[in-house]
Amino acid sequence: MRAASDGMRAAVDGRALATCRTSIARHSRSFTFASRLLPGRVRDETAVVYAWCRRADDAVDRAGPAQAARALDGLQTDLDAIYAGTAPGHDDVGRAFAAVVRARAIPQRYPAELLAGMRMDVDGVRYATLDDLLGYCFRAAGTVGLMMSHVMGVRDHGALEHAADLGIAMQLTNICRDVAEDWGMGRLYLPGDMLAAEGAPALADALGGAFPQQARRPVARVVRRLLIRADDYYRSGDIGMRALSPRCALAVRTARLVYAAIGDRLAAQRCDPLAGRAVVPGHTKLGLAARATAAQLRALR
């Protein structure tokens, strides 16, 4: 099912839109790169959804452990106000998000699930199995794929499932890339049963200290396994591209290839969690955009 043609713009004022564009440019080079390929209306509303998600994440992180739960409660109150039609007037991002929610009929359960994923972080949830982790990935990023689908005019249930899977794939990639960074924040997302199987059964007990050198190889093996699982979700996301308009599909294909390339960089570093942050350089992104263009042209034949 092709995305519906919808030229109507959400009523987002210029100042709010500028704030949202600044947020996406500051926090995600990969997302910014791919979003430039979107049609103007979709690009602007994508920036709004991204900015709202980023603002929520920052509000929790900046609150600190003692106040994080209260910050989340405030975010939930703001979200309820948005869906009740009384968006907070003092907040540019909140007003912009409310306008997009109304224009694109984004169900409340999507951003509510995103906040539920943040609460898992606040509560220090441990992930015993891969299924546990996949549930978190759906909340943290699958929901973003669902919201973006509405922005792009997609409502078909099957297509939405593929969009959620693409978000899950990207979140798995982020988790694999950020093992050391997350460790420094007192977080460990790698599934306990996989760590035990690869030789690091007590890794979570060391949280709060330096990353154990003896855990580097076991963790690398877990990361490699998670990247293989992410590939399954990327393939599912590929199937959903046919539901998008050509320009939206091109942008999403590009984002998908850039994120998957992070996994390739990790593999080149032997998935070592202490090898440094895996980054996809600009010239590689341009090559991936060309690859996405070729794939999109083939899909249109």
Note whether residue 166 is domain-resident. Answer: yes
Whether residue 90 sits in one domain with residue 162: no
Residues 203-259: pLDDT tens digits?
999 999 999 999 999 999 999 999 999 999 999 999 999 999 999 999 999 999 999
Q: Are residues 93 and 139 in the same domain?
A: no
134 and 79 in a single domain? The answer is no
The answer to the question of residue 114 being in a domain is no
Q: Is 299 exposed, middle or buried (0-12, 13-18, 19+ CB in 10 A)?
A: middle
* Domain-located, residue 301: yes
What's the CATH code of the domain at 282? 1.10.600.10
Residues 269 and 205 in one domain: yes
Q: Cβ–Cβ contacts within 10 Å for residue 79, how many?
A: 22
What pTM did the predictor assign? 0.92
Same domain, 212 and 284: yes
Distant-in-sequence contacts of 183-188, Cβ < 8 A, 24+ apart: 183/207, 183/211, 183/273, 186/124, 187/121, 187/124, 188/126
In a shared domain, residues 190 and 267: yes
Are residues 148 and 92 both part of a single domain?
no
- The pLDDT tens digits of the residues spanning 136-150 come to 999 999 999 999 999
In angstroms, how far apart are the furthest CA atoms of the chain?
56
With both helix axes pointing from N to C terminus, report the angle between 157-177 and 246-268 in degrees, rounded to the nearest 10.
30
> Which residue has 């998008």 as its token pair?
244
Same domain, 152 and 297: yes
Together in a domain, 59 and 160: no
Q: What is d(CA 270, CA 264) in angstroms, rounded to the nearest whole number?
A: 10
CA angle 52-57-62, nearest 5°?
A: 125
Please report, as a single letter, which amino acid is at residue 257.
L
pLDDT tens column, 42-64: 999 999 999 999 989 888 888 87
Mark whether 149 and 47 lie in a shared domain. no
Domain count, the chain: 2
Structure tokens at 193: 């049963």
User: Is 298 exposed, middle or buried, given 0-12, 13-18 or 19+ CB atoms closer than 10 A?
Assistant: exposed
The verdict on residue 293 lying in a domain is: yes
Asked if the structure places residue 214 within a domain, the reply is: yes
Pair 202, 53 in one domain: no
Residue 163 belongs to domain spanning: 126-301
> What pLDDT is recorded for position 4?
42
State whether 165 and 87 are in the same domain. no
Final residue before a domain boundary, out of 72, 106, 140: 106
